[in-house]
Amino acid sequence: MDVDVVVLGSGIVGVSCALHLQDRGRRVALVDRRAPGEETSFGNAGLIETASVVPYGFPRDLRTLLRYVRNNSTDLYWDYRALPHFASWLARFWWESSPQKLLAAGRDVLPLIRQSYDEHERFVRRAKLGHLVRASGWIDAYRTPREFSSQAAAAEVTAQSYGLRVTVLDTATLAAREPGLVDGFCGALHWQDPKSIVNPGALTKGYADLFQAEGGSILMGDATSLTSQAGAWTVQTSSGRLVAKEVVVALGPWSDRVFAPLGYRIPLRAKRGYHMHYRPTRPMLSMPFVDAEQGYVIAPMEGRLRLTTGVEIARRGARPTDIQLERAERTARPSFGLGERLDASSWLGLRPCTPDMRPVIGRAPRHTGLWFAFGHNHHGLTLGPASGRLLAEMMIGAPPFVDAHPFRAE
């Protein structure tokens, strides 16, 4: 079985890479151990987040750091057994989170963010998935007047700087706009530019169906079987050995299982997160809500409410815990009218994160025909199609639509 390119990983990034390469005349096979969209791309909050132009950095204020040290917050939970594994990564994450470095990271990723929805829209239209997309934006809600006032002022500066649309909502306006809320929030910011997806897993599967309908191959296989022989790459699949001149590693938080044995020391770590679905007991929310001071998201998902948690620092293979979910649920249930749980157990996902908050996109420096597309931090759903376009342009030798220099593996 011979193709031009094998893409390892069938999440939103891998599927997007496969589609863009196929659109440029390459014969492509998509290989994963599971069906498309069943890992990280399945369980996120469903935001195509065109408003968060500055990455989520490591907090530097003493009050927040002390709260994290006590390990009783909703937005972060850490397993002490994982700290040796994360220590050097967290140190660099802190270093890269200075105000100046955060702004630099934002400038580097901004061109991808600005192109993200246009690339999604092309795929959505071709795959006839418009019923999954909502153009209502999202709401950043605050519980204390001091924090709300501070963030509202900062949001207006950000909106003017980047050409974004934001509306400041006081308590009465928020309550009138969202009757599904009760007391608990003193105000909110309505970011109007982002889009939301009511079923992120179905979106990725729909893109994969489009890829397959237009001639692409989707195969079950083991990415760790990848080998290089005689100027070609081979990988074992359920349909036999697959051979290609080029291979793309787009395995998200598992990408190190391929690049590390090949000698690459890229600082990739997985931040864990959970979700649970609930029956709504009040009118359905019109858009996703971020409880900004507690660090979780409530998103309407096809008649259900999905609660997605903040960050859990734990080893990738550690057993799931419901500590963060239970903390968020206690706060969210009275505010959003969460009814009974609709899932038998919580869902655990892994966010593939780099300490400088930039994805890795481009050529592997020491292996001919090896390409990388991973490390999209909290914005894989947003950046997947734009990243796929950038990588495809680089692979065929076309002028890239953005400067790819900040995303080099080096």
Please check whether residue 319 lies inside any domain of the structure: no
- Residue type (1 letter), 258: V
Tell me how far CA of residue 271 lies from CA of 105, 139, 303, 363, 390, in angstroms. Answer: 19, 23, 28, 25, 25
Q: pLDDT tens, 215-228? A: 999 999 999 999 99
| pLDDT score of 197 | 97
Domain assignment present for 107: yes
Is the pLDDT at 347 greater than 80, yes or no?
Answer: yes
pLDDT in tens, 246-283: 999 999 999 999 999 999 999 999 999 999 999 999 99
Kindly indicate the confidence band of residue 322, based on its pLDDT and cuts at 50, 70 and 90.
Answer: very high
64 exposure class (CB count in 10 Å sphere: 0-12, 13-18, 19+) = middle
The model's confidence at residue 379, banded by pLDDT at 50, 70 and 90, is: very high
Q: What is the pLDDT of residues 152-177, one digit of tens each?
A: 999 999 899 888 999 999 999 999 99
Mean pLDDT of the chain: 95
In terms of DSSP H, where are the helices of 241-309? 256-259
Q: 3-class SS at 290? A: strand
Residue 62 lies in a domain: no
Token output for 309: 């948690």
Least confident piece of the model among 62-71, 88-97, 368-377: 62-71
Number of compact structural domains in the chain:
1
Task: Identify whether 66 is part of a domain.
Answer: no
H runs (alpha helix) in 96-229: 99-127, 145-162, 171-177, 200-213
Assess contact for 305 and 277: CB atoms under 8 A. Answer: yes
Query: Is residue 153, in this structure, part of any structural domain at all?
Result: no
Q: Does 150 reside within a domain?
A: no
Mean pLDDT of 307-318: 95
The predicted model gives 339-349 an average pLDDT of 96
Domain, as residue range, for 12: 1-57+96-131+195-268+354-410
Q: What is the mean pLDDT of residues 4-31?
A: 98
Q: What is the pLDDT of residue 94?
A: 95
Q: Record the pTM.
A: 0.95
CATH code, 363: 3.50.50.60
Token pair listed for 269: 């770590």
Inside any domain, residue 259: yes
How do residues 43-80 score in pLDDT, each as one tens digit? 999 999 888 888 888 988 888 899 999 999 999 999 99
In this structure, what token pair is assigned to residue 162?
């980047």
Looking at 172-181, 186-195, 215-224, 356-365, which range is the least confident one? 172-181
Question: What's the pLDDT score for residue 77?
Answer: 95
Is 292 within a domain? Answer: no
